Structure 1
Amino acid sequence: MNIAVEHIATDQPPDEAKARDLDYGWQSGNQVQLLENGEAYFPRVFDAMRAAQREILLETFILFEDKVGHELQGILIEAAQRGVKVVVSLDGFGCGELSAAFLAALADAGVMVQMFDPASKTLGIRTNWFRRLHRKIVVVDAEVAFIGGINFSADHLGDFGPEAKQDYSVQVTGPAVADLHHFALAQSGRQVRTRRGWRRRQQRPSPWATDSGEGLVRLIYRDNLQHRDDIEEAYIYALSKAKKRAVIANAYFFPGYRLLREIRNAARRGVQVQLIMQGQPDVLLAKLAARMLYDYLLKDGVVIHEYCQRPLHGKVALVDDDWSTVGSSNLDPLSLALNLEANVLIRDRAFNQQLYDSLETLSKNHCQVIPAKQKPRLWLWRLTVGFLVFHVMRHFPALTGWLPAHKPRLKPFESQAHD
C-alpha cells in the first residue's frame, strides 16, 4: 500500500500574498492552565481530541510508537472516522523512526499526515539535524489550544523511569486561541480564512503588554524569515523590565551574549535571578556548555540550581509577579538561530504564581545549588569561547551549502507500508 506523506515547508510563506509574515498581538480575557509533565498534559489533550467535533491541528517534534503514541494514533483515527478534519505535522528528524505501517493507519483513516524535511539515513546516520520543526502545538475546534515543550512520547511520564523528563505545557482557552489556530493552519500549509476574533497586525507589538490585566496572552514564534529573534527579544525585554524576581528553567542553556548580559544586569540591580539548569541531562554536551557560563553569571549574584532528579526538558520563565512564558524554545543556538519554535507570553498573576510555586518546589526539593567561587577562574576565557561557539553555530549553516540551510518545498513523499 502506498501512502503519501506531504513534505511541508514552514520556512517560507505560502501563496496568499506573503501574509505568513504576521505578528500576533496581546489578547485579553484568556484562561491559561499550567500542565506539568505527561501526567497532567496527556489526559487533558486527549480528552479535548476525543470531544472534537470539527478539527484537530497537531504539530510535534517527536512522536514515538510507544503507549502514548499508540493512544494518540487511536484517538486521531477515531476522530477522522467520525468526520473530524485532522491535520498532523511531524518533524522529519524527531519522527524519523516512525514505521510506514503506523503512518499508513493514520492516512487510511483520513488523517492528513505531513512530514517536515524528511530524509533517509546515510550510512546509518540521520543527516537532517538542523532547522527542525521543534514546535509542540495542538488546537481543537479553534476553541482550545495546547502549547509547550511536551512531545507525544512515554518518556514524559514518571513510570518511564529515571530518564523520564520534567516538562511543562499550557492549556489556553479564550480569544488567544484564534491566533494559535490561525498560526497552526498557516504553518500546516492549509488555507487560512480570516475569522472573527483574529486580525492582522500591521506593527509588531511590544513583548510587554501595555496593560497588566489578567488573562493576557500573546503568541510569539521563531522562523528563518522575518521572525528570527522574536523569542530571544521577548526574554531580553522582559528581563530589562524586571524589578523583583526572574526565574528561568531551561533544558538547554547556551544563549547569546545579549541575553546573558541582560540576565547579569538584572541581578546587578538587585533582581533575584534564579536559573534552573540540567543536572542529569539527556545530552551531556548541554550540561558542559551551560557550565562554561556559570562563573560569568555567579559573580554578579545569579543563583544557579541544577535539577538532579531526572532530565529537565522544560522551557519556561517568569519575571516579577505577572509575566511568564511557556513554549518549545530552548535558550541555545539550535532553538534561537535554527529551529522553528513557538512560545506564548502570559500576563496573569495567578498563572505566574502557579508557575513560581512549581519551580520553587523543584529548586528546593530536587536541585543542588552551584556555589559562587570567591575568585572565578577563567570566566573571561569561557565567555569568549562561548561567544565564538554560539555565533559559529548561528551562521555556519547558512554559509555552507552541504548543511541543511535549504528551503524545503511542498512535494509528495512516498513510503511503502505492508499489511
Structure 2
Amino acid sequence: MSGITRERLMSRLPRPQRAWTSGNSIELLENGEQHFPAVFDAIRQARHEVIIETFILFEDKVGLELHRVLLEAAARGVSIDLLVDGFGSPDLSDDYLAALMHAGVRVRAFDPRPPLFGRLRTNMFRRMHRKIVVVDGEVAFVGGINFSADHLGDFGPEAKQDYSVRLRGPIVARIHAFARSQIRPRPPWPELPPPQPAGDAEVMFVIRDNFHHRDDIERQYRAAIRAARREVIIANAYFFPGYRLLKTIRQAARRGVRVRLILQGQPDMKIVKTAAGLLHGHLLPAGVEIHEYCKRPLHGKVALVDDSWATVGSSNLDPLSLSLNLEANVMTRDRAFIAELRQNLEGLMANHCTQVQVQPEGGRGRWAMLLDALAYHLTRHFPAWAGWLPAHRPKLTPLRPSTPPALSEPPRSGEVESHRHA
C-alpha cells in the first residue's frame, strides 16, 4: 500500500457515526423503573433478533428477568446475541449460562481473564463499557443503565440515578449495524427491512474505541460547549475530564454562559468525590456552578446545551471513559427531548442537590491549592499516559458453563458486587 499501513488508511476514511440522521423518535427513560420494563417488553415482542451489549449483568432480580425473557424469545426462534464485559460481569453461574446455551442464545464475554493470585483482576482497563440493546433492527436502547437491581429505587440508599433513551427510526439502522459488527464470529443474521421514519428528531450515534474513534465523544462535547450561547448542564457520575474539555467548560462560563455541573454528592466510591473536588478551585472561580446530588449515587452520563444539543450514553467524563473504555453515546438536536431533559435535571438541582460555594479569599490552605494545581496539570497528560497501556483487540470469548448444559434447576440469585465504576 505504498508504505501506508491499513490502520492509517482506515483512519482517513469517513466516520459514519458522526453523521446526523433525521426522521427519528427519541424518548428519555429514567432509572430502571422506566428502562427495564421498556427493554423487556421490546424483547417479549421480538420476532427475529435481539442484540445486547452490557458492562454489568448480575444474577439478581433484574438479571433473572432478563434471563426469562431471553429464554422465551429464543423458544420462539429469535436470534439472540448477548455480550457482557469480562471485568464487569465475571461471575455468571453455570446454571445461568447453561440455560441460555441450551436455548441457543450466544453469550460472549469481552476480554475475560482469570484473577491473578486468586483476587487481582488484570482486565480493568480498556473495558467494554457500552450499554446497547437492539431488537429486530427496529428499536434501540442506549444509555448508562446496566442489568442490575441497583438501578431500581427499592435497592435502597445505594440505588443509582441514571438515564437511557429509546430510539426508533433510521438511526436504529446505524446502531444495529454497529452492534452486529462487534460480534465475532458472525452468526447467520436474519434479513431485516430497514427501519422506517418514526419522528422528527435528528440523532447521531457516537462511539469511542482505541483505534479509529479515540476521542469522538469528547470532540462532540467540546464542539457543543464551544457553540453554547446561554446554558450548559452536565450531569456526570465520574467527573475528571481532560485538560481540553476542562478548558472549554471554563471558557464557556467566562464568556457568560451559565454552566452547571451535577456531580456525585453521595458517591459510590469515595475517590470519585475527591477527584472532582480537586477541580473545584479551577471551575468555581471561572463562574461554573457545581451542584452535588445527595439523594443517592449519581450514575448518569447526560448533558445539554441551550435548546440545540443533548447527549445520553455510557461515557463518563473521566480518564477511563475518555481514554480507555469502549463507549457509546447518542446525541440529539430534538428541542422537545432537550426540554424534557432540562426539566428533569433542574428538578434534581432544586430538590436533591447542594450547591458548592466558592471559598473565600485565603480560605484554602497551601496543601489544598497544591493538590488543585497538581490535579489540573494531570488532566493535561492523562490521554498520553493512557496511550502507554496496550491497545490490543481483546477477544470475544463464548461463555459456557464449566459442566455440560443441563436444565435440572433454574439459575440462582446470589450476592453480587455492585460497585464497578459502571
Which TM-score bucket, shorter chain as reference? 0.7 to 0.9
Counterpart position of 1:297: 283
Letter in 1 for 2:361: K
Counterpart position of 1:287: 273
Letter in 2 for 1:113: V
Counterpart position of 2:388: 399
Counterpart position of 2:417: none
CA offsets 1:174-207 (integer angstroms, 9 cap, x no match): 1111111111111223378998769xxxxxxxxx
TM-superposed CA distance for 1:394, in Å, is 3.4
1:224 to 210, 223, 241: 210
Preserved CA contact (<8 Å) 1:91 1:118: yes
Letter in 1 for 2:345: L
Counterpart position of 2:27: 33
Counterpart position of 2:47: 53
The answer to whether 1:319 aligns with 2:305 is: yes
TM-superposed CA distance for 1:415, in Å, is 4.4
Letter in 2 for 1:23: P
The answer to whether 1:159 aligns with 2:154 is: yes
Counterpart-to-counterpart distance in 1, 2:69 and 2:271: 37
TM-superposed CA distance for 1:81, in Å, is 1.3
TM-superposed CA distance for 1:409, in Å, is 3.4
Counterpart position of 2:165: 170
2:354 to 345, 351, 368: 368
2:260 to 263, 268, 274: 274
Q: 5+ unaligned residues in a row in structure 1: which ranges?
A: 1-12, 199-212
TM-superposed CA distance for 1:23, in Å, is 2.1
2:374 to 385, 403, 406: 385
Letter in 1 for 2:178: F
Task: Name the CA shift for 1:19/1:257 in 2 (closer, same or farther; >3 Å).
Answer: closer
Counterpart-to-counterpart distance in 1, 2:335 and 2:133: 25
Letter in 1 for 2:151: H
Letter in 2 for 1:138: V
After TM superposition, the structure 1 = structure 2 runs for residues 351-362 of structure 1, keeping only pairs within 5 Å, are 351-362=337-348
1:95 to 89, 93, 102: 89
Preserved CA contact (<8 Å) 2:137 2:192: no
Preserved CA contact (<8 Å) 2:132 2:142: yes
What SS does the corresponding residue of 1:30 show, helix, strand or coil?
A: strand
Task: Name the CA shift for 1:396/1:258 in 2 (closer, same or farther; >3 Å).
Answer: closer
After TM superposition, the structure 1 = structure 2 runs for residues 94-173 of structure 1, keeping only pairs within 5 Å, are 94-123=88-117, 124-173=119-168
Alpha carbon RMSD of aligned pairs, Å?
2.6
Counterpart-to-counterpart distance in 1, 2:200 and 2:254: 29
Counterpart-to-counterpart distance in 1, 2:123 and 2:303: 29
CA offsets 1:322-358 (integer angstroms, 9 cap, x no match): 3100000000000000000000000011000000000
Q: State the TM-score, normalized to the length of structure 2.
A: 0.86
Letter in 2 for 1:157: L
Letter in 1 for 2:27: Q
CA offsets 1:289-346 (integer angstroms, 9 cap, x no match): 0000011110011110000000000000000013100000000000000000000000
TM-superposed CA distance for 1:43, in Å, is 0.6
CA offsets 1:211-255 (integer angstroms, 9 cap, x no match): xx9500000000000100000000000000000111000000000
Bigger mean CA offset, 102-111 vs 309-318: 102-111
Identity of aligned residues (%): 55
Counterpart-to-counterpart distance in 2, 1:50 and 1:413: 24
2:16 to 5, 10, 23: 23
The answer to whether 1:182 aligns with 2:177 is: yes
Give aligned pairs, total.
388
Preserved CA contact (<8 Å) 2:240 2:276: yes
Q: State the TM-score, normalized to the length of structure 1.
A: 0.87
Task: Name the CA shift for 1:412/1:166 in 2 (closer, same or farther; >3 Å).
Answer: closer
Task: Name the CA shift for 1:269/1:33 in 2 (closer, same or farther; >3 Å).
Answer: same
Preserved CA contact (<8 Å) 1:20 1:186: no
Q: 5+ unaligned residues in a row in structure 2: which ranges?
A: 1-5, 407-422
The answer to whether 1:256 aligns with 2:242 is: yes
